[in-house]
């Protein structure tokens, strides 16, 4: 296992020996320890059923650990109120869902509901512009395509971060580019990198990514979950997302390749699938 860069415990979002599951069902996560630092983008990767979304939900405080802890700074996440968590953690779900016929602008403004209405409108307008969705502002959210909804959901999270009090914060995203076309996927991950780098690196980004080439290109760090919800590797993305480690976890053959038209960019591709992948569920 590779060793992740040391993170300041006073500013990190971290899980320690985390075990988690749902209801009376079996453990989904078994002993996962990981640390996420502000100013960095970290990819959560692994096969279907490895527990990536469960880990993200634990990091948000939406799923309580059965054992182990999740901390943000020096506070146990489960001890914080919903309002205190919202001031430090913004969430982009995999499948955005809004029950009422809100416009995209109203959905984004909900992310900034903790500030005065005028300030919320400012935050929403700026966030929609950042994700390239200003033209969607007055359209009904439920009538948008899934890809458009993902962009608006990201804007809501950005508005939440902008409206929150100063301090270290984290943006957690569950497959934020899954429904996006290639151009919007590249723009979105470029934006997430800028979010992590601005404001003196006060925002950390944690996102689930299935596109391992994009994860290797845009992310500083990676946590690779393997079979039975255990950590297979954690550390720098280029040291974790390697043919050897990925082949062991996914049960497939991977190779590094130069990205066409970008000599300085190396991507990783799956070459063939082996019989009976370790992480299959």
pLDDT, position 126: 97
- What phi and psi, each to the nearest 5 degrees, are found at residue 5? -60, 145
Q: What percent of the chain has pLDDT over 90?
A: 77
Domain boundaries, the chain: 1-88+165-235, 97-163
Range among 23-27, 41-45, 174-178, 227-231 with highest mean pLDDT value: 41-45
56-110 pLDDT, tens digit each: 999 999 999 999 999 999 899 999 999 999 999 999 998 877 768 899 999 999 9
Residues 6+ apart with CB under 8 A from 66: 19, 20, 21, 27
* Residue burial 135-152, b: 16+ Cβ < 10 Å; e: rest: ebbeeebeebeebbbbbb
pLDDT, position 277: 43
What is the residue-averaged pLDDT of the chain? Answer: 89
Angle CA(86)–CA(88)–CA(89) in degrees, nearest 5? 65
Q: Could you tell me the CATH superfamily of domain 1-88+165-235? A: P-loop containing nucleotide triphosphate hydrolases (3.40.50.300)
- What phi and psi, each to the nearest 5 degrees, are found at residue 19? -120, 135
Residues 107, 100: contact at Cβ < 8 Å? no
Tokens of 225: 């979950």
Q: Where are the alpha helices (DSSP H) in 44-181?
A: 52-60, 82-86, 104-110, 117-130, 146-163
195-218 pLDDT, tens digit each: 999 877 899 999 999 999 999 999
138-165 mean pLDDT: 94
């Amino acid at each position: 296992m590779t060793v992740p860069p040391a993170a300041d415990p006073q500013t990190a979002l971290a899980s320690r020996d985390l075990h988690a599951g749902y209801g009376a069902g079996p453990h989904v996560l078994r002993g996962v320890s990981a640390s996420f630092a502000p100013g960095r983008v970290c990819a959560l990767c692994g096969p279907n059923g490895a527990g990536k979304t469960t880990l993200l939900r634990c990091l948000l405080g939406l799923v309580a650990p059965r054992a182990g802890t999740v901390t943000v700074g020096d506070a146990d996440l489960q001890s914080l109120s919903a309002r205190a968590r919202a001031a430090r953690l913004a969430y982009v779900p995999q499948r955005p869902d809004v029950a009422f016929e809100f416009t995209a602008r109203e959905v984004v403004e909900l992310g900034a509901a903790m500030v005065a209405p005028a300030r919320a409108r400012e935050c929403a307008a700026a966030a929609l512009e950042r994700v390239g969705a200003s033209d969607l502002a007055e359209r009904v959210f439920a009538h948008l395509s899934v890809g458009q909804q993902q962009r608006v959901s990201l804007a809501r999270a950005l508005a939440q971060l902008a409206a929150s009090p100063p301090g270290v914060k984290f943006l957690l995203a569950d497959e934020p580019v899954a429904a996006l076309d290639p151009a919007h996927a590249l723009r979105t991950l470029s934006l997430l990198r800028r979010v992590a780098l601005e404001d003196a690196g006060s925002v950390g980004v944690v996102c689930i990514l299935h596109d391992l080439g994009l994860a290797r290109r845009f992310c500083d760090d990676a946590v690779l979950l393997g079979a039975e919800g255990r950590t297979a590797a954690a550390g720098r993305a280029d040291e974790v997302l390697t043919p050897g480690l990925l082949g062991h976890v996914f049960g497939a053959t991977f190779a590094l390749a130069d990205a066409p038209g970008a000599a300085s960019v190396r991507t990783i591709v799956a070459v063939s699938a082996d019989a009976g992948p370790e992480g299959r569920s």
